[in-house]
Structure 1
Amino acid sequence: MAWLAWRTLRWHPGSLMGTLVTLVVAATAIGALWFVVDSTDRQEVPVERYAGTPLVVGTSGGGISPGLAATVDALPEVAAAVRDLSFPAVLFVRGTRPRMPGDQRPWPWGHGWSSARLTPFELTEGRPPWAPGEVVIDARLAAVARTGVGDRVEVAVSGTVQAHEVVGVAAARAAWRHQSALFFSDDHAADLSGRGLRADALGVHPRPGVGVEALRAAVTRAVEPYNAPGLRIARVAVGADRGGQENNIVVAEGFNTLWFLVWVTALVSAGMVAAAMGLSVRRRGMEIAVLRAVGARPGQIRRMLVAEAVLLAVVATLVAIPLGMLLAPAVVARFRDFGTVSVAFEVGYHPLAMWWTFALTLAIALVASLASVRRALRIRPGDALGEAPAEGRRLGRGRLAAGSTLLAGAGVLSAVQVWKLVAVGGVALMGLQFGTLCLAVAGVGLVAPWVVLVSGKLVRGVVARLSPVAGFLAVANVVFNHRRFAGAVGSLALGVTLVGTVVGTQLFYDWRTAAHAVEDVRADHVLRPSAGQGALSEELRRRVLDRDGTSAAVGIASMPVAVSVEGRPPGQDPPPATATLVTGDITRVLDLSLRGRSPGDLGEGEVAVSESLGAELGSLLRVRIPGEAQDARYTVVAVYADTAELGSVSLPAQAVAGTNLPSRQHERIYVRGADPGPLADPRVPVESFTKQEYFWQMSEESAQRNRTLPYVSLLVALLCLVAAINSLCMGLLDRRREFTGLRHLGTRRRQVMRMACWEGLFTVAPVVVLALAVTAWVTFVHAVSEPGGAAATLSLIPFDWLVPLGAGALAAAMAGSLLVVRAALRNERHGTA
């Protein structure tokens, strides 16, 4: 029986090939992602900067204080605790900026010369740096920059450029592939970095006879008092964990994004393959009915389809694994662009990943097979006695009713947002918007075939005049046999609408994030270091003041702190917060809603807090500053409304001068009353924005941080597109008799091929228009939830995503139709049927 059933496939090659192609595409995507996921589990972060020391004390913010360094250095197990500073230092040689291939960052890192032993580096030429204005360059960078001892170079740090003389060239005895280094004298490095006596890390060398585990235990006990509850600043690392402390190596811990992609791909693939197998069963309905009529039992039909699924899964995996191995590096390259993985990440091809790819592909095929079994068992043996076509029957009303109900539900949720029938905000509003998106996408996927049917009826007359033969026949096919196109239309509508609504919603949230970020800014300009460039120096802020004594230039920096309110019951303290160090009068550049005194008038032991911290005026706060073993006590004298520009706690920079925190370094400088543009050296990596430019920059940065979800939706859309084109091609392959009949009636080959192209156009174009309309609706509903947002609706519609996707779908549909029709007519003989 199984052999006889397999023989039926020879009469429906489109069904077999369509299902196989769909499964190969799904397995290739899963395999590529699984190779990358498996590589993350086996990847060891390379240790370069700290290869010469067995233990590193790193910091998650605030730096290593002199007290902590002295505590570790005084341990009996420790021979030496070497302080290390790491700060971006852009090198210019003869006016050009050398680039080192393979580096994680496009700039070198500056260090104090005493920390060179941590790598370890050794001089190959020249001498160590002893004074300001002297630098030692690592040998790799010196070779690329074509510079050596005695040359004059320029180094840009914290927004300023200084000339230096190359006094030495050093080479690392350990592997040195992903970072470049510049070494300065220790005092000069401290001045350049603005860190003062603080360090970024400690490299700890044990005394002779002390093992790594004993050293780690001793150092862990020593640093514990410097970690406040819930705020672990100092971290002890040994072995491969040392690589995580190197601030230029990105560590993909957990890599949850790829796991999410794997399971989303598997879920969508199961639906794709189920649709392809279901279509295959429907195309083979007559043969299955004959099998039932001659005595085949339901169990035999079930085993036949399951056996097909297993064989297809085996063949698909054999094809997909090599394709996945070729695709995996491209996936890694894309995630490297996102900053999710570093240049040190390498893809491995372990056999276990291949077995998991096969297992998941087999599971998808079996799930899809079980779904198609239900369709097969509904075929009655009596269907073998008739030749009545099933294609002309209309789609079930249940599908239309379900889709209309979902769209109506999305309409109700939209009305709640537009007319604010219910007062919602925050998380509740996000849930409402997410619900609208989900209902709209699902509803469109269900009702799309009916939209194609209606649009075909509307354009029938116009198309008949434009193309009396090919166009007329195509419209007739789409209208009369629209059930044939339902699978392709539903998949395509689901994918394109998902991309449009998800990307449009993300654009809305990016716009809203930027709007909220700048709504409190009163400054005319905002200065920031370029990406990854650390901070701006106090010298740069003072230059603005020197040009115009009436201008305001305010610098801010942030750091993590632990906060507790005295008198509050235990367990009710706020979580770890962000403290903002302010240099200048912040009220001149930010519009703050205040209670109490101005934050610009804070005295010693006084602090301003945000409303979200929950502290009242006059409250006493205990604040644990990073790197300190004791809490500092402050009195709340000002409370301001929450703003994206400030943390939960604001302190004047001079308040932490005694803690050796970098009080002369700024993450942003707000300027009012002067144009800082002429002050900026074009070689200095400093960005200057007007308020409007700052808005767009914040929006762009929000989009960069949230790229994963739009690209996940695009991946789903591409899989749906494959399923849709596959469904169209499967249907065309099984219409050989129809094409032969048209040729017998005198229709030319070119007219038959044009008819197939017209069908692709009438299938894809209405879906793209529908997706665009739903996207505009969803984005408008989201936008009106924010003041003034409705005016931005047009800019939130992702035309740059939908137009290429729609054009690609149309081109793929036409190209696939032409190839399939050409293949179907290849063996056709005029005059035979």
Structure 2
Amino acid sequence: MLWLAWRTVIRHPGSVLGALITLVLAATVVGAMWFVVDSDERQRPVVERYAGVPLVVGTGGIAGALPPGLVRALDALPEVARTVPDLTFVAPLSVRGATVSVPGDQYPSPAGHGWGGAALTPFRIERGRPPGAPGEVVMDARLAGAAGVAVGERVEVAVSGVFRPYEVVGVAVAAGAWRHQSALFFTDDHAAELAGRRGGVDAIGVYPAGGVDQESLGRAVGRVLEPYNRRSALPVRVSTGDARGRAEGNVITSSGGGFNTLWFLVYTTGLVAVGMVSAVMGLSLRRRGRELAALRAVGARPGQLRVMLVAEAVLLALVAGAVAVPLGGLLAPVVAGRLREFRVLNAAFEVHYTPLPALWTVLFGVAVALTASMLAVRRAMRIRPGDALAEAPAEGGRLGRGRLITGLATFVLAVALTVVLIGNLVALPEPLGPMIAQLAIMMALVTSVGLVAPWFVLLAGGLLRPAAARAGPTGAFLATANVVFNHRRFAGAVGSLTLGLTLAGAIIGTQFFHDWRAAHRATAEVTADHVLRPSAINNALGEELRRELGDGAVGVRMLPITVLPEGRAPVMMTASLATGDLTRVLSLAVRGGPLGGLEAGQVAMSEELAARHGAGVGSRVRIRLPGAPAEASVTVAAVFAGTTELGQVLLPSAGPLQAEPYAAIYVRGPLGREVSSAAVVSHDRREYVESKARESAERNRVLPYISMLIGVFCLVAAVNSLCLAVVDRRREFGAMRRLGMRRGQVMWMAGWESVLTVLPVVVLSLAAVAALAFVHAVSAGGMASLVSFIPFAWLAPLAGGALLGAAAGSVLVVRAVMRNER
């Protein structure tokens, strides 16, 4: 049987070509992602900023969270020779009116530091001298080269949204590699003023005393940090070795706990590949029904056929793996580059080629082929030996009614869930309840459409048959008749394509709905006339800018804190600090005291957080601020409606943490002057609402591409199946030629068969996506945005590609099959 499997593969390549193409495609994509995943897990964090210090104390990037008392406590340790406090803040550079961005940097703007922190890399002056006054700056040599600046020239630096002029007094070079970030150095006092830290620092570099090894130094520092880390979800970390790269914020990867985008892509591709390869191999076996029946008739046992078919699958997988591994290696840098754009991978990421991903790619191909083969073999074993004596193929049989009944049942389920969601028949807890219901409706609808699609094609063909008969050309009538009679032949292609189009449209349409909802929430919550936010090159706005905008300006800053529920583990939450009267710029339902009247020892909580922890107005809760040596007991003075404009906890602006620099400044009334610049973006209310939709799309921009990947997989599998169904129709085409049909008429007929199969699928998929858009529109309270939830721009290329690929592929296959026909 193994010999027979090999002879089948080499003597009948058409019977396995479709499965081989699908396997190669799946293994190539998975192989490329496996090279990226393997490289990601082998990637060592790049250490640049803290390369010159053996141990760094930090809070993972929380600005100004380390208090002066901690610096003094570390300095007092006998194991410590000295400490170097470090400040890091975004400092966009402008030279001769043009913003400078260095290719290859992890972030679009340079980072500002005090000159005292230059020792952490370390940096040394190559030209000029260190900064000695507030109006002086030192640039690193790489940044100076990109900007074309020499010592003595003047530049502008925007910190917290305000541009200030500086004279370049020096150019510094790093002792080690300096490839993925840029630095500007100011005097220490001026850097503290620009960063707005009020005495707190971002990180502390610790140098050991003579004779103290790194392990002893780490233990000593750890003892000092124990009070800061007791019952805290925001620990003060000790970083040594490669961990210093994470401490300096020069790494963004998909690994490290939580949701892993790369593995999700691998799992998704693998799951879709199993379904697509199974469909193609099932079609291949149906086409070989007479051959298998003949083997049964001459005495082959079912077990022998299973061995033969499984052996064929393994041979296909090995051939596919040999082709897919080098193709995946070529595709991996392209995938990595795209993921860098999405900030899933960092700028320092490099693809490493090792044998392990290649081995896993081959094993993946074997596993998929075996799984698909076992699923297809079950159907092959139902073939009777007597079928070998039949003259006509069994393609004209009817589809099983179980598929139709299941499809209709899932459609009824989708309708029932829609009625529950729209009619509010069941109280669904916000916000997860409606989201889960919408997800269930989407999955039920996609499943239903995928199951009933072959029946829909059959129905569409039956409706078009009379018109095709009256149209005149024989090819039109035969194309329609073949679609109706041989609809089982096209069932695999129909199911694959319907699944791909509908799932891609449903996912992207749902994303459009959530983007719209983000904008709709902003419309209801924001009453400010203008909102100022940092541009892409900046990350904060300062108090100086807020004061220039007048008393109607309200600045809001976000930061993480730890909430300590009674008897439960600490939980990290996002908190807000505000300067100004929030009620002037936000419309929020509030219970208890006014949000602007919080005093020391008081907080306000969102309704969701208060309900989760059983807190209310007047309740006492325990919180821990970033870098605080002890927790604090505070009173909940107010409870406000949840909003994306504020964190889950609102802290009083008077306290140990400064309210600025701000993430946004809200202004009621006219601005009075132009404030937009390279570092500040000013939105009026309409523009701000639109920006919220864009931000939602930006946060989830990987999801549409994943759904399109699934759609393309399904499209290729569907076109592959349609073309594969044409390969073995040589006798049928020959009979048509003997009856007087020209070769062009036969090719025209085959092309229209594909179009008449694909077009109903496109219509059905679009109807399903429109139905889901209707559910979103009604659940949102109106039909005005219905059309905007249908992703026409994303579906059009898929649908067009399916129509063009199916028609062109069928015509080319017929031409190849009939090349010797006269």
Q: Deviations over 1:409-449 (max 9, x none)?
A: 11111122222222324333222221111111111111101
Tell me the distance in 2 between the aligned counterparts of 1:518 and 1:168.
49
Residues 501-510 or 174-183, more deviating = 501-510
Q: Cα offset for 1:621?
A: 4.5
Counting only pairs closer than 5 Å after superposition, residues 611-650 of structure 1 correspond to structure 2 as 611=607, 612-613=609-610, 614-650=614-650
Any stretches of 5+ residues in structure 2 without a counterpart? Answer: none
Q: Cα offset for 1:491?
A: 0.5
Q: Cα offset for 1:577?
A: 3.0
Q: Cα offset for 1:7?
A: 4.2
Q: TM-score, normalised by structure 1?
A: 0.94
Residue aligning to 1:818:
811
AA aligned opposite 1:741:
A
Residue aligning to 1:485:
490
Match of 2:398, SS state, is: coil
Counting only pairs closer than 5 Å after superposition, residues 357-436 of structure 1 correspond to structure 2 as 357-426=361-430, 427-436=432-441
Match of 1:576, SS state, is: strand
Correspondent of 2:701 among 696, 704, 707? 707
Q: Is 1:150–1:167's contact at 8 Å kept on the other side of the alignment? A: yes
Match of 1:791, SS state, is: coil
Residue aligning to 1:793:
786
Q: Deviations over 1:127-164 (max 9, x none)?
A: 00011110101111111211111001111111100000
- The question of 1:114 aligning with 2:116 is answered yes
Q: Cα offset for 1:572?
A: 5.5
Residues 84-93 or 590-599, more deviating = 590-599
Q: Deviations over 1:328-347 (max 9, x none)?
A: 11111121111111111111
Q: Cα offset for 1:485?
A: 0.9
Residue aligning to 2:159:
157
Match of 2:139, SS state, is: strand
Q: Is 1:102–1:343's contact at 8 Å kept on the other side of the alignment? A: yes
C-alpha distance 672-303 of structure 1, shift in aligned 2 (>3 A): same
Runs of 4+ in structure 1 deviating by more than 6 angstroms, as ranges, are none
Q: Is 1:15–1:279's contact at 8 Å kept on the other side of the alignment? A: no
- The question of 1:244 aligning with 2:249 is answered no
Residue aligning to 1:804:
797
Q: Cα offset for 1:466?
A: 5.1
Q: Is 2:232–2:624's contact at 8 Å kept on the other side of the alignment? A: no
Residue aligning to 1:450:
455
Residue aligning to 2:43:
43
- The question of 1:571 aligning with 2:567 is answered yes
Q: Cα offset for 1:662?
A: 3.6
- The question of 1:530 aligning with 2:525 is answered no
Tell me the distance in 2 between the aligned counterparts of 1:13 and 1:681.
65
Q: Deviations over 1:463-519 (max 9, x none)?
A: 455561332221121112111111111100011000111111122222223323442
Q: Is 2:108–2:536's contact at 8 Å kept on the other side of the alignment? A: no
AA aligned opposite 1:147:
V
Tell me the distance in 2 between the aligned counterparts of 1:2 and 1:559.
65
Match of 2:504, SS state, is: helix
Q: Is 2:80–2:209's contact at 8 Å kept on the other side of the alignment? A: yes
- The question of 1:502 aligning with 2:507 is answered yes
Residues 94-103 or 306-315, more deviating = 94-103
AA aligned opposite 2:527:
R
Q: CA RMSD in A?
A: 2.0
Tell me the distance in 1 between the aligned counterparts of 2:211 and 2:557.
43
Q: TM-score, normalised by structure 2?
A: 0.95
AA aligned opposite 2:47:
V
Residue aligning to 2:734:
740
Q: Cα offset for 1:58?
A: 1.5
Tell me the distance in 1 between the aligned counterparts of 2:669 and 2:49.
44
Match of 2:528, SS state, is: coil
Q: How many residues align?
A: 813
Q: Cα offset for 1:125?
A: 0.2
Residue aligning to 2:576:
580
C-alpha distance 80-697 of structure 1, shift in aligned 2 (>3 A): same
Residue aligning to 1:135:
137
Tell me the distance in 2 between the aligned counterparts of 1:31 and 1:501.
27
Counting only pairs closer than 5 Å after superposition, residues 651-666 of structure 1 correspond to structure 2 as 651-653=651-653, 655-656=654-655, 659=656, 661-666=657-662
Q: Is 2:234–2:561's contact at 8 Å kept on the other side of the alignment? A: no
Q: Is 1:68–1:226's contact at 8 Å kept on the other side of the alignment? A: no
Q: Is 2:676–2:682's contact at 8 Å kept on the other side of the alignment? A: no
- The question of 1:590 aligning with 2:577 is answered no
Tell me the distance in 2 between the aligned counterparts of 1:459 and 1:219.
80
Residue aligning to 2:765:
771
Match of 2:420, SS state, is: helix
Residue aligning to 1:679:
674
Counting only pairs closer than 5 Å after superposition, residues 604-615 of structure 1 correspond to structure 2 as 604-611=600-607, 612-613=609-610, 614-615=614-615
AA aligned opposite 2:220:
A
Q: Is 1:216–1:236's contact at 8 Å kept on the other side of the alignment? A: yes
Q: Cα offset for 1:601?
A: 2.9
Q: Cα offset for 1:594?
A: 2.3
Counting only pairs closer than 5 Å after superposition, residues 136-535 of structure 1 correspond to structure 2 as 136-254=138-256, 256-426=260-430, 427-464=432-469, 468-531=473-536, 533-535=538-540
Tell me the distance in 1 between the aligned counterparts of 2:48 and 2:688.
37
Q: Is 1:610–1:642's contact at 8 Å kept on the other side of the alignment? A: yes
Q: Is 2:556–2:659's contact at 8 Å kept on the other side of the alignment? A: no
Tell me the distance in 2 between the aligned counterparts of 1:3 and 1:605.
82
Tell me the distance in 2 between the aligned counterparts of 1:311 and 1:282.
20
- The question of 1:670 aligning with 2:666 is answered yes
Tell me the distance in 1 between the aligned counterparts of 2:622 and 2:273.
54
AA aligned opposite 1:665:
P
Match of 1:202, SS state, is: strand
Q: Cα offset for 1:401?
A: 1.4
Q: Is 2:533–2:665's contact at 8 Å kept on the other side of the alignment? A: yes
Q: Cα offset for 1:559?
A: 1.9
Tell me the distance in 1 between the aligned counterparts of 2:9 and 2:578.
75
Q: Is 2:231–2:570's contact at 8 Å kept on the other side of the alignment? A: no
Residue aligning to 1:548:
none
Correspondent of 1:729 among 723, 726, 736? 723
Match of 1:52, SS state, is: coil
Tell me the distance in 1 between the aligned counterparts of 2:526 and 2:195.
28
Q: Is 1:596–1:638's contact at 8 Å kept on the other side of the alignment? A: yes
- The question of 1:718 aligning with 2:712 is answered yes
Q: Cα offset for 1:287?
A: 1.3
AA aligned opposite 1:771:
S
Tell me the distance in 2 between the aligned counterparts of 1:491 and 1:330.
27
Tell me the distance in 2 between the aligned counterparts of 1:518 and 1:556.
18
C-alpha distance 2-174 of structure 1, shift in aligned 2 (>3 A): closer
Any stretches of 5+ residues in structure 1 without a counterpart? Answer: 546-550
Match of 1:378, SS state, is: coil
C-alpha distance 309-622 of structure 1, shift in aligned 2 (>3 A): closer
Q: Cα offset for 1:728?
A: 0.7
AA aligned opposite 2:24:
V
Match of 2:796, SS state, is: helix
Q: Is 1:555–1:669's contact at 8 Å kept on the other side of the alignment? A: yes
Tell me the distance in 1 between the aligned counterparts of 2:240 and 2:201.
18
Tell me the distance in 2 between the aligned counterparts of 1:740 and 1:360.
41
Q: Cα offset for 1:458?
A: 2.0
C-alpha distance 591-553 of structure 1, shift in aligned 2 (>3 A): same
Q: Deviations over 1:261-290 (max 9, x none)?
A: 212222221122222221111111111111
Percent sequence identity over aligned pairs: 57
C-alpha distance 289-601 of structure 1, shift in aligned 2 (>3 A): closer
Match of 2:784, SS state, is: helix
